[in-house]
Amino acid sequence: MNIFELKIWDDESEKCTFYTVQADGSLENETDIFFDKYDKTPELKEQTQELLSFVLNAIGDNHGAIDEIFNRHENEVDGLPTQGQLQLGEFDYYFPNFPLRLYALKVTENIVILFGGGIKDGSTNQNSSLHFKWIEACNYAKRIIEGLNDGSIIVNHRTRTLTSFDGTDEIIL
Amino acid sequence: MRSKIAKRILAETPEETKIFVNLYADIVVRVNQIMKAKGLTQKELAKRIDKRPSEINRWLKGEHNFTLKSISKLQAELDCPIVVIPKGGGFLNFDGHGVKKGFSVVHPHKSGVSKLEFKEANVIKRTQPQFQPLANVG
């Protein structure tokens, strides 16, 4: 996997700070690429708005990443080294047959890392067109979890932030 | 800071969409929390309301479009209010995050619903009678 930066995507929500990842050489971060792409797809615009509102309002402002709504853990990543409440899951928003999936890593109830996602058009991730995005999210998550475990990424619970081992905001993995 | 793309999409999102999403999340969280507080498992709840556990799982994972009937059924079985409709006087405020209990502060710029106006409810103010030493003097 290439080098990527772990950077803040939203820190204006009342209960949760959202981070995202941006691959070295890429002009946009993965989460912006996801939302921008599906917002520009007319038949998915409404669902994109719902998903964004779910992330920023329901989770970010109202509840935080509590287990009651962050409950889509992927069986496939059970083998990951875990620490505390680290959970790789997906935001697919509460609604029947919701087509979009956005992958995320919950660091705490107040810090969530968002990756990319896609359309769940199959019964499983493996046979959906988002398979590649799911694998990619798992790989990002593995690297981040390694960083959290070996101390190269520090969790600051009080400020709801992640910093590099040297205390700077710039986290390059 | 907030992603510019998120800001743009959020600004275009209809207020009703935000309210719907928040209400839905609130209901799912509320049901889960009541079950946790009462020590009820999905299997036990399913047995009590004569449903399959998989159906309860769909409700709690949000794969079920809640209807008033399903909410009422859950409310009856959990013996706890899930949705509360405010009654009586006071103020009803919208803050863009769904309807909040009690009194809340309106942030017109944040909510984007500043065009909605809620008038102050009629409140009968009962004041303590002032002491009037000569009131009963004949």
Q: Domain-by-domain residue ranges, chain A?
A: 4-172
Distance CA A119, CA A130 (A): 6
Kindly report the nearest CA distance between residue A27 and chain B, in angstroms.
Answer: 13
Distance CA A138, CA A86 (A): 13
Residue B132 CB neighbour total at 10 angstroms = 8
Does residue A146 carry a pLDDT above 90? no
In this complex, is the C-beta atom of A43 within 8 Å of any C-beta atom belonging to chain B?
no
B46, amino acid identity = A
Kind and range of the H or E run holding A172: strand A171-172
Does residue B100 carry a pLDDT above 70? no
Q: Predicted confidence band at B52 (pLDDT cuts at 50, 70, 90)?
A: confident
Kind and range of the H or E run holding A23: strand A17-23
Q: Predicted confidence band at B104 (pLDDT cuts at 50, 70, 90)?
A: very low
Return the SS3 of B114: coil
Q: How far is CA B6 from the centre of its chain?
A: 25
Mean pLDDT of A52-75: 82
Overall pTM surpassing 0.90 (yes/no): no
Does residue A85 carry a pLDDT above 60? no
Of the two residues A116 and B114, the one the predictor is more confident about is A116
Q: How far is CA A61 from the centre of its chain?
A: 16
Residue A155 bridge partners (DSSP): A162
pLDDT, residue B12, reads 93
Distance CA B83, CA B90 (A): 19
Q: Predicted confidence band at A93 (pLDDT cuts at 50, 70, 90)?
A: low
Q: Predicted confidence band at B61 (pLDDT cuts at 50, 70, 90)?
A: low
Distance CA A100, CA A144 (A): 24
Q: How many CA atoms lie within 13 A of A3 on its CB side?
A: 5
Within 8 A by CB and 6+ apart from B17, the residues are: A46, A49, A50, A53
Which residues in chain A are closer than 8 Å to B21, comparing Cβ atoms?
A: 50, 53-54, 57-58, 93
Does residue A133 carry a pLDDT above 90? no
Of the two residues B93 and A38, the one the predictor is more confident about is A38
In this complex, is the C-beta atom of A77 within 8 Å of any C-beta atom belonging to chain B?
no
Does residue B98 carry a pLDDT above 50? no
Mean pLDDT rounded to a whole number for chain B: 70
Check CB contact under 8 Å for A39 and B5.
yes
End-to-end CA separation in angstroms for chain B: 73
The secondary structure of chain B in percent helix, strand, coil, rounded to multiples of 5, reads 45, 0, 50
In this complex, is the C-beta atom of A139 within 8 Å of any C-beta atom belonging to chain B?
no
For A162-171, write each residue's pLDDT tens digit. Answer: 999 888 888 8
Which range among A2-6, A12-16, A27-31, B27-31 shows the weakest confidence by mean pLDDT? B27-31
Residue A105 bridge partners (DSSP): A88, A113
Mean pLDDT of B28-50: 82
In this complex, is the C-beta atom of A9 within 8 Å of any C-beta atom belonging to chain B?
yes
Does residue B111 carry a pLDDT above 50? no
Q: Predicted confidence band at B80 (pLDDT cuts at 50, 70, 90)?
A: confident
Q: What is the ipTM of this complex?
A: 0.84
Distance CA A135, CA A128 (A): 12
